[in-house]
Amino acid sequence: MNKTVKRILIGLGALIVLMALAMGGFMLKMKSELKQMHVIETREVIHSVYTIKDSFVNMFLIKDGDKYVAIDAGNDVKVIAAELKSLGIDPEKVKAVLLTHSDGDHVGALKLFKNANVYLSRDEEQMINGTQSKLLFFHNNLDRTDYSLLNDQQAIRVGNIRIKAIMTPGHTPGSMSYIVNDSCLFVGDAFGLKSGKVARPNKFFSGDMNTAIQSFKKIVNIPGLKYVFTAHSGYSKDYKYAVNTSLE
């Protein structure tokens, strides 16, 4: 074996070791951050709004007669199926899934909701069509291709449920929040809650903190709102108190 080949092999070996160390450090940090998340147990949290717990993330269901609208779709399809069963909720009764963004812990059980129309923001499509990577060469994926794209401030109606979409980028380029029935605000990972107040999204998992802070201005002073629901840090029954803060 000549010296050139040896140098190449040594270099490749060193690169593999560095990559392994970096990945190990990343995984340890991720586990640490996940342990700090505070999610809600599966239950009806307010009238006709249900939270579904999936380890470190919550998805939500809004009831409309015997039908439902989902906010996100959890992390693990088996866990979500079991939690829905515990509430006596048939996933085929879910008529729409509103994705706050396309990260894996928000779309994992999408295949359960066979009768649901799927919605996400137009700016989030870049995360699933190969245009924008989530991490290095890794892209987000959806189990569905028949989704509908929403624009900022677009209003839709599913049965008797009124929905308004609000672009709140930062965590991902197309993160979207939803106002439901003029009273409930669902923000996904766009923001967290700390001591009852809206807080910056988790820095470790967020793509653009400056953009996230600017997005906060879009969710304050919205008339009629009562509740704020997050994916990883619970919910608040006092919207006015929750948004009476500064993220600068």
Q: How many Cα atoms sit within 13 Å of 204 on the Cβ side?
A: 12
Assign residue 138 the CATH number of its domain.
3.60.15.10
In-domain check, residue 226: yes
pLDDT at residue 32, rounded to an integer: 42
In a domain, 65, yes or no: yes
What is the model's pLDDT at position 29?
Answer: 41
- Residue-range definition of the domain harbouring residue 51: 36-242
> What integer pLDDT is reported at residue 161 of this predicted model?
98
pLDDT at 27: 43
**CA–CA dist 69, 76 (Å, integer):** 19
Report residues of the chain scoring pLDDT below 50: 19, 21-23, 25-35
Whether residue 102 lies inside any domain: the answer is yes
Number of folded domains that form the chain: 1
Residue 65 dihedral angles phi and psi, to the nearest 5°: 65, -120
Please report whether residue 207 resides in a domain. yes
> Is 1 a domain residue?
no
User: Is there a domain that residue 181 lies in?
Assistant: yes
Is 21 inside any structural domain? no
pLDDT of 142-186, one tens digit each? 988 999 999 999 999 999 999 999 999 999 999 999 999 999 999
Contact 187, 194 (CB under 8 A): no
Task: Using the CB atoms, write b or e for 190-199: b if 16+ within 10 Å.
Answer: bbbbeeebbb
Nearest-angstrom CA–CA distance, 222 and 224: 7
* pTM of the predicted protein model: 0.84
In a domain, residue 210? The reply is yes
Strands 184-186 and 227-229: parallel
Query: What is the b/e burial string over 218-239, where b = at least 16 CB atoms within 10 angstroms of the residue's CB?
Result: bbeeeeebebbbbbbbbbbeeb
**pLDDT at residue number 245:** 87
Looking at residue 201, its pLDDT comes to 76
